[in-house]
Structure 1
Amino acid sequence: MNALQKIGTFGAALAACFAAAYGVGNAVTPVDTDPEPAAHADAGHGDTPENAEDAEDAGGAGGTGQTTGDNTTPGGLQISQDGYTLDLGTQRVAADRASELRLTIRDGNGRPVTEFAREHEKELHLIVASRDLTTFRHLHPERAADGTWSTRATLPEPGGYRVFADFRPAAEKEGLTLGADLAVSGPYEPTALPPVQATASVDGYEVELSGALKAGEESELAFTVTRDGRPVTDLEPYLGAYGHLVALRSGDLAYLHVHPHEEATGTAVSGSPEVAFTAAAPSAGDYRLFLDFKVGGEVRTAAFTVTAGERPAGEPTRNAPADEEAPHDH
């Protein structure tokens, strides 16, 4: 066999090896050519990563969204929208350790945005939630002159988290909620979504939820705060109202905008133990509600799991879509 024949034979053998390897790879893990889901909905529960490094590789630390300008898309699913981008400077932190989170909002030319309108008494609200919706943080970072926002936070459990920046540039009439992924290092074990319940307890306070979250339409949600069986009538104003509510869709963590029924002014107290909101769920499924309320100068958070619409019979509560490999505190 001459040299050219030998080279030809070797090339054919090598091509056969690659073809076989590709076939085995497809048999073990299908090649996914579909784009990442546009929503963080509560749709199937796939394999979860064993640690945060896997979570970051699966979801990407920079979020999954693209600029669309579609105002019907739930908030927080996109890293860029309407010419603005969330540039998350911190993409990985250690579990159960105080860490600095840094971010910048950039305009369509990549320049840091430095002028914001105040919404609910703050220029920017930063929400951090674990993928399994068992950890929740509502933070208010400080902005430096160069447009960099920073704050410290302790996230107790390893896994995948979502960071939401809720803000309104001074040049715009409408606010935006942009989202990006954050990995918390350490061995990860998935946690089931807490069950649906109408009451939640926090620091000796009982909070009861009345009303139902409806898919595709607005509905009224009311929260009544009691302590030792007695109504709490000295709720204090917090962020311009007597309560602040964040709603996240289980699975993709779509961020729902909710509105309090009455605004608080000055140092007046409501005299009522009830805080009411109007909310609309973009789809049927499971959601997690986080109510911040203030009593005695301290803000506490009560968390609820609710279902909008009806789940098919026999279908369990889930907290991640089948093709999402990201994971989890309040």
Structure 2
Amino acid sequence: MKTSVRLIAYATGLIVVFAGAAGAGRAFGPAGKPAPAHTEAHAVADEHAGHEATVLPAGLQVTQAGYTLSPLTTLFMSGKTQTFAFRILGPDGRSVTQFTPEHGTELHLIVVRQDMSGYQHLHPVRAADGTWSAPVTIREPGAYRAFADFTPRARAENMVLGVDLTAPGDYQPRLLPQPTWETTVDGYTVTRAGEPQSGAASWLTVSVSRNGQPVTLEPYLGSFGHLVALRQGDLAYLHMHPQAGTPAGPDVTVNADVPSTGAYRLFFEFQHGGKVHLAEFTAVTGAGHTHN
């Protein structure tokens, strides 16, 4: 047999050997153990696990259900007022221009620092091409999070997308204030009754008084008060809605279900005397605790 023929036969033999080994590897898996069959039950379980993995608290994703929060500005200089511009891109990649108003506006914009200080609730203006813009004042350096809270007209459910912003400089994070039941702001005393709960229906009532006398809150964005809760650590976002049919008065009761135990910062906005005021609380639910 010629040398070239012998080489060809040898190479052919190697191919057969390696093919057999690969087949055995697929059949037995590592360490010679039989590889588990991917049955229909496994497929269903995998699909269910994938679905569960996508169920996240609001505000943790920049893209969800085909919609994307696309910022045109992410870098800010502390101590200055700058325009924050952004777009909401739809599943087709184009700017969304049709929204269903909720609480008196098409889109709520929340900006807050990572340590949950410097909270701002803004109402940007939308241009005809779908570009939103709002003046934002970043007072201190640090990492910030911007939340867009909206409902596209093509979608029945509300959604909240979040994106990171940066203000370079000497970042001095603040400790999360200890849990409190009462706070004062602009001469008003604001108290809360009830604690957020995870895994159970819960309600929280906020009451406002001034000089020891209860005040009658004025409608603000279609409600007598708005409460946003942010979870310490990842800033998971919850817009706690008041009970339907809440009468005018000093009290606002909101649904206080939260996705997990832990520490939350509560931001309650109310209007009285034609001016909007912001009261802040720290609340701890379940076995959660603050991390200083």
Name the residue aligned to 1:318. 291
Count residues in correspondence: 243
Matches within 5 A, 1:88-107: 88-107=71-90
Name the residue aligned to 1:220. 203
The one-letter code sitting in structure 2 at the alignment partner of 1:119 is E
Identify the match of residue 286 of structure 1 among 263, 268, 271: 263
Name the residue aligned to 1:10. none
1:303 and 2:276 aligned: no
The one-letter code sitting in structure 1 at the alignment partner of 2:238 is L
1:259 and 2:241 aligned: yes
Counterparts of 2:67 and 2:53, CA distance in 1: 13
The one-letter code sitting in structure 1 at the alignment partner of 2:261 is A
Instruction: Return the offset for 1:215.
Output: 1.4
Kept in 2, the 8 Å contact 1:75–1:177? The answer is yes
Kept in 2, the 8 Å contact 1:242–1:263? The answer is no
Higher alpha-carbon deviation: 158-167 or 181-190: 181-190
The one-letter code sitting in structure 1 at the alignment partner of 2:147 is F
Map Cα deviations across residues 169-214 of structure 1 (whole Å, 9 max, x no partner): 1111111100000111221112101111001111000100100111
Distance 1:90 1:69, change over 3 A: farther
Instruction: Return the offset for 1:263.
Output: 4.9
Distance 1:136 1:96, change over 3 A: same
The one-letter code sitting in structure 2 at the alignment partner of 1:274 is D
Kept in 2, the 8 Å contact 1:215–1:284? The answer is yes
Counterparts of 1:263 and 1:277, CA distance in 2: 12
Instruction: Return the offset for 1:72.
Output: 3.5
Counterparts of 2:273 and 2:243, CA distance in 1: 22
- 5+ residue gaps, structure 2: 1-49
Q: Which has the larger radius of gyration?
A: 2
Instruction: Return the offset for 1:90.
Output: 1.0
1:90 aligns to what SS in structure 2?
coil
Distance 1:69 1:101, change over 3 A: farther
Name the residue aligned to 1:44. none
Q: Scaled by the length of structure 1, what TM-score is found? A: 0.71
Counterparts of 1:70 and 1:105, CA distance in 2: 24
Name the residue aligned to 1:57. none
2:80 aligns to what SS in structure 1?
coil
Q: Which has the higher contact order (CA 8 A, sep 6+)?
A: 1
Counterparts of 1:154 and 1:75, CA distance in 2: 24
Matches within 5 A, 1:1-330: 72-233=55-216, 235-263=217-245, 270-311=247-288, 317-318=290-291
Kept in 2, the 8 Å contact 1:95–1:156? The answer is yes
Kept in 2, the 8 Å contact 1:249–1:286? The answer is yes
Q: Identity over the aligned pairs, expressed in percent? A: 48
Counterparts of 1:257 and 1:196, CA distance in 2: 19
Instruction: Return the offset for 1:262.
Output: 3.2
Distance 1:110 1:249, change over 3 A: same
- Structure 1 segments (4+ residues) deviating >6 Å: 67-71
The one-letter code sitting in structure 2 at the alignment partner of 1:211 is G
Distance 1:150 1:69, change over 3 A: farther
Counterparts of 2:189 and 2:55, CA distance in 1: 35
The one-letter code sitting in structure 1 at the alignment partner of 2:218 is E
Map Cα deviations across residues 28-78 of structure 1 (whole Å, 9 max, x no partner): xxxxxxxxxxxxxxxxxxxxxxxxxxxxxxxxxxxxxxx989773110000
**Which structure shows the higher helix fraction?**
2
Counterparts of 1:92 and 1:241, CA distance in 2: 34
Name the residue aligned to 2:43. none
Distance 1:139 1:70, change over 3 A: farther
